[in-house]
Amino acid sequence: MTKPAVLTGEYFMTGDVACAEGALAAGCRFFGGYPITPATEIAERMAIRLPQVEGCFIQMEDEIGAMAAILGSSWAGVKSMTATSGPGFSLMMENIGLGICTETPCVVVNVQRGGPSTGLPTQGAQGDMMQARWGSHGHYEIIALAPSSPQEIFYLTITAFNLSEKYRLPVLIMTDEIIGHMSEKVIIPEAKSIKLASRPRPKGRKDRFKPFAPGPNGVAPMPAAGEGYNLHITGLTHDEKGYPVMDVETQTEMMARITEKIQKNLDDIIQTDSYLLDDAEIVIVSYGVSARTSMAAVAEARKLGIKAGLLRLVTIWPFPEDQIRKLADRVKGFVTVEINLGQIHREVERCAGGKVPIFLVGHSGGTIIHPDEVVKMLKEAF
């Protein structure tokens, strides 16, 4: 029996399930995955739901295959997704690079758990944030989003698809075990209220079409296989026609294409959220589940008379550099709160440029950070 892709209504749902529902609402019709705690529930949900909406689910033989499969399905013209956790994310890296190089829209969800290696399979962490930025070899730009609740993961999964289609690249959702396994109220709106984006489509003569010639916003239109364009798509350095050319000039041009389409559209891509930031003297920078901790800590600190505020990063990559720089000019200091030993912290440090002191409330993973630890830092450091 067919069911609608958008299950409009009010639910009590885990983050993982909300992520799957967000994907379906965004138009995702292909999922290739491989089971891994704590992301398995996304695959399980997609296995049931995709056939209901005329989509296709496949459990691949590993995450390398899963990532390759979603690139293939995307080139067949279908919005595609995979979901994993640290060990699988590591295996996907080479093909994420292929997705970047071939400008292939798709969404990769990482429900983070404690690492390195097999680490803490059932316990949350935020230790893959730098891997999300630089995990595949070579220099590139990427988009990564960090939801803080099941409701937000629903919406951010839609955003992830929209951005991936608009800018033609893999978009990462960097959530964590805690959000993935947490059940909260999720409202799924009516289908017609959801704004969807699709990859720019080519016009004009097929024989003259160049699959990597950038359009007005720096992004090239994208046909699908089987439409008569005789596409050649390669992970080798290629020109606008898609043909491999092994020279410095072509490399420079290609790199400009894949980086500038992001760098020139930062305002459209970057989203942040704030809490009591306007008059804040100390800014907590946090994201994902740790932003919830931080919000509680800000409320507590205000009671104690400490003028703290929260800058919640919704977009992690590209990093909201400008916002941190501007804040650094007017505040007394920053505290980064994250479940790792200082990854985004270094980015904040870099952007604050030594203007004000910066502290880290970090954790090696396995549990959330308690708001008391953040309050303690606020009291001691400032």
Partner 1 sequence: MQKIPMTSNKQPDHPLDDLIRTDRIPHIWCPGCGIGTVFSSCLAALKGSGIDLQKTVMVSGIGCSGRAAGYVKLDSFHTTHGRAIPFATGLKLANPELNIVVFSGDGDLFAIGGNHFIHAARRNMDMTVICVNNLNYGMTGGQVAATTPHLAKSTTTPAGNPETPFNLPLMAYACGATYVARWTMLHIRDLTDSITEAICKKGFSFIEALSPCPVNYGRRNKQKPLDMLKLYQEKAIIKNDADPSTLDIDFEKGIILGKFIDLDRPTFIEEYDKIYRPSRLQENVPELNS
SS3 350: helix
Nearer to partner 1, 52 or 265 (CB): 52
Cβ–Cβ < 8 Å for 43, 59: yes
Q: Kindly list the residues in this chain that would bind partner 1 in the complex (CB under 8 A).
A: 1-2, 29-30, 32, 48, 51-52, 54, 56-58, 60-62, 64-66, 68-78, 80, 94-95, 98, 224-236, 243-244
Nearer to partner 1, 241 or 370 (CB): 241
SS3 116: coil
Nearer to partner 1, 65 or 115 (CB): 65
Cβ–Cβ < 8 Å for 118, 134: no
Nearer to partner 1, 231 or 356 (CB): 231
Q: How far is the CB of 104 from partner 1 (least distance, A)?
A: 10
Cβ–Cβ < 8 Å for 220, 233: no
Structure tokens at 214: 């950038």
- Rounded to whole angstroms, the Cα distance separating 109 from 152 reads 14
Cβ–Cβ < 8 Å for 282, 382: yes
Residue 67, classified by CB atoms within 10 Å of its CB into exposed (0-12), middle (13-18) or buried (19+), is: buried
Q: How far is the CB of 39 from partner 1 (least distance, A)?
A: 18
Place of tokens 């980015």: 347
- Rounded to whole angstroms, the Cα distance separating 205 from 316 reads 39
Nearer to partner 1, 225 or 304 (CB): 225
Nearer to partner 1, 94 or 281 (CB): 94
DSSP letter (8 states) at residue 143: E
